[in-house]
Chains A and B, each alone.
Chain A
Amino acid sequence: MTLAPPPIAMLAELTHRCPLACPYCSNPVKLARQDTELNKETWISAFQQAAALGVLQLHLSGGEPASRRDLTELVTAARAAGLYTNLITSGIGLSERRLADLNQAGLDHIQLSLQGTDAAMADEIGGYRGGFERKMQVAAWIADIGFPLTLNTVLHRRNLHQLPRAIEIAQEMSARRIEVATVQFHGWALRNRDALMPTREQAAETTRVVTEARARLRGKLVIDYVPADYHEEFPKRCMGGWGTTGLNIAPDGQVLPCHAAQTIPHLTFDRIQDKPLAEIWHRSDAFNAYRGTDWMAEPCKSCDRKTVDFGGCRCQALALTGDASATDPACSKSPHHASMQAQAADHAAQVNAALTYRIAPGKPVPAQGKR
């Protein structure tokens, strides 16, 4: 058996704790409690193993990674292991002093999330009053230090009209890059499709704004764009292909092929505290489950795009068809595509739908809304 190529990127979800409560949080609905979080030494070992396996890019995320008090020490250790370190943060929990320490530790890059372009929108979506004002302060400190910055925007029906302003804010913050990500329906977002689903017109307008801004800002601001896949013809190549490019470690040490993989009920996941990372990457059932193309059924099996998009997202296939090995319904060749687009239109028409916020780890999960 030939070994899979080594991973390039690792997402370390240091904690599921977060001051914000965004209704599209990609964390699982069942959150890891603080007392199950990996300790510092185990994370450092994971970073060293990842570098030895071939990982080049380490994304420190959560939850809110700044909720970990040992964040600076983790960055120091990751840099010592030879990894490019990227902090994915809302900014809440970062002080000027902490940013100076992270600078000293060698942090390479920061991705700052933006929930809205004004306090009214941002604080409502984040469920955290004062969050926007604090974030703007943190952005100023980031610019003072000179950290390379990417602004991460998650866009949905409520805030898509703010995209032009978000692009301006990225430039005002001296960001080199902005991620324009239309909300992806995993984790908490799946419970908020009525409240967040963009209309088809919004999705088209977003593509138009992005195309125009890319041409206008070439060489000044890089725009990475994730379109609304419920309204697309072909699915996304999720994670660059299952078990080919990246891996995640959850706060409790479970090693995952993607951040939503725990929604696939028949998969079991090894933990970094139990097995070497290389063994998990190469040999575990979860990583081998959807590697390559052997697992595919029709219409993927005979499709000429099967090694282009690998059938799309396994978690979305499961969520919408009940079968994780089905073609992602975002694909126009899926027998479920028409019904998915009809559902999307139906969700997008729920103009009065309320937001279901993410909860804190350890708190009871609210019942899923009807429909």
Chain B
Amino acid sequence: MEASEIPALPRGVRLHFDKIRDTWVLLAPERAVTLDAVGLAILSEVDGTRPFGEITRTLAERYNAPEDQIAKDSSGFLDALRDRRFLDILP
């Protein structure tokens, strides 16, 4: 994912707190993806307005971590969602 690309959760893909299993999941057609703390932190920043570079900057500041490491980790995660059509890139 490029720093200038704007990720967005498309219709039909949404975050959901699973009370029974006490975890956040990403609900999508025919899938429920269990999210760890990192996945949740990234997706919570995906709002369909801010580009990927701004998201990684925000996370780097909040968690006091190197931005390039965050960009690398979250890019892999978001690209995998994109391949499944669980994430759109806005034009």
- Restricting to A184-242, which residues have a CB under 8 Å from any CB of B? 218-222, 224
The residue of chain A having its C-beta at the shortest distance from the C-beta of B20 within the complex is A54
Among B11, B13, B29, B82, chain A packs the most CB atoms within 10 A around the CB of B29
The B contact surface, by secondary structure, is loop
The residue of chain A having its C-beta at the shortest distance from the C-beta of B29 within the complex is A109
Bound-complex Cα distance A34 to B32 (A): 33
Chain A residues with Cβ below 8 Å from B14 are: 84, 108
Chain B residues with Cβ below 8 Å from A355 are: none
- Restricting to B1-31, which residues have a CB under 8 Å from any CB of A? 10-14, 16, 18, 20-21, 25, 27, 29-30
8 pairs across A/B with beta carbons < 8 Å? Answer: A54-B21, A82-B16, A84-B27, A108-B14, A109-B29, A176-B85, A177-B85, A221-B85
Chain B residues with Cβ below 8 Å from A84 are: 14, 16, 27, 32
Binding site for B on A (CB under 8 A): 6, 8, 52-54, 56-57, 82, 84, 86, 108-109, 111, 146-148, 150, 176-177, 218-222, 224
* A219 x B82 contact (CB < 8 A): yes
Asked, given contacts A148-B11, A148-B29, whether A219 binds B16 with beta carbons under 8 Å apart, the answer is: no
* B25 x A219 contact (CB < 8 A): no
* A148 x B16 contact (CB < 8 A): no
Bound-complex Cα distance A220 to B84 (A): 9
Asked, given contacts A6-B20, A82-B16, A109-B12, whether A57 binds B27 with beta carbons under 8 Å apart, the answer is: yes
Bound-complex Cα distance A108 to B31 (A): 12
Binding site for A on B (CB under 8 A): 10-14, 16, 18, 20-21, 25, 27, 29-30, 32, 82-85
Bound-complex Cα distance A150 to B21 (A): 28
- For the complex formed, measure the closest distance between the CB of A218 and the CB atoms of chain B, giving whole angstroms: 6
- For the complex formed, measure the closest distance between the CB of A321 and the CB atoms of chain B, giving whole angstroms: 31
* B32 x A57 contact (CB < 8 A): yes
The residue of chain A having its C-beta at the shortest distance from the C-beta of B12 within the complex is A148
* A56 x B27 contact (CB < 8 A): yes
Extra contacts besides A111-B29, A148-B11, A150-B29 (10): CB < 8 Å: A6-B21, A54-B20, A57-B30, A82-B16, A108-B12, A108-B29, A176-B29, A220-B85, A222-B85, A224-B30
Chain A residues with Cβ below 8 Å from B25 are: 56
* A177 x B29 contact (CB < 8 A): yes
* B29 x A219 contact (CB < 8 A): no
- For the complex formed, measure the closest distance between the CB of B40 and the CB atoms of chain A, giving whole angstroms: 16
Bound-complex Cα distance A221 to B12 (A): 15
* B30 x A147 contact (CB < 8 A): no
